[in-house]
Amino acid sequence: MRKPVRIALRIVGGLVGLILLVVLTASVVSGMRLRKHYDVTGKAVPVPSDSASLARGKALAALYGCSGCHTSTLAGQQMIDAFPFAKLASSNLTRGEGGIGGQYSDADWDRAVRHGVRWDGTPLFIMPAHVFNRMSDDDELHALFTYLHQVPNQRTAGA
């Protein structure tokens, strides 16, 4: 009976060690990726102010899923709060308290939306820029930026 117990303990110990190794490796690799710097020049996109562009921008924000992560008001939300494993919140995109809308230039918005890169060159975590990088300047991106500029000020949800 002693030998099967020792074998079982070695197997369990090996599995625990393997899990710890995988978690440590994932942590190091993700940390390296989040600290990486990208030199991406955003384009200054002219933003129309007509009501048709505003309505189209709001529809595009819903269609492309902006309101899924950032809420329908674009005020952001706590998406995952599972300490110690993960804590993930989406940004407040409005010009309200805690929002980045008033801080971002049009070139910053272009860099963030199309390339998933912050104004300082660091990557945005889980920003699906691959969905947005093929947006047309004349139609989709102009309309989306019109909406982002006009969305009412909001506080971050839960703040």
Task: Return the CA Rg of the chain.
Answer: 21
Phi, psi of 76 (to 5 degrees): 80, 165
> Which pTM value belongs to this model?
0.69
DSSP codes of every residue in 41-60 = PPP-------HHHHHHHHHH
Confidence (pLDDT) at 21: 93
Position 31: which residue type? G
Mean pLDDT of the chain: 84
Tens of pLDDT, residues 2-43: 888 899 999 999 999 999 999 888 888 877 777 778 788 877
Q: Is 113 exposed, middle or buried (0-12, 13-18, 19+ CB in 10 A)?
A: buried
**Cβ partners under 8 Å of residue 8, min gap 6:** none
**Cβ partners under 8 Å of residue 83, min gap 6:** none
Q: What would the mean pLDDT of 62-77 be, rounded to a whole number?
A: 87
Could you tell me what percent of the chain has a pLDDT over 90?
12
| 93 has pLDDT over 70 | yes
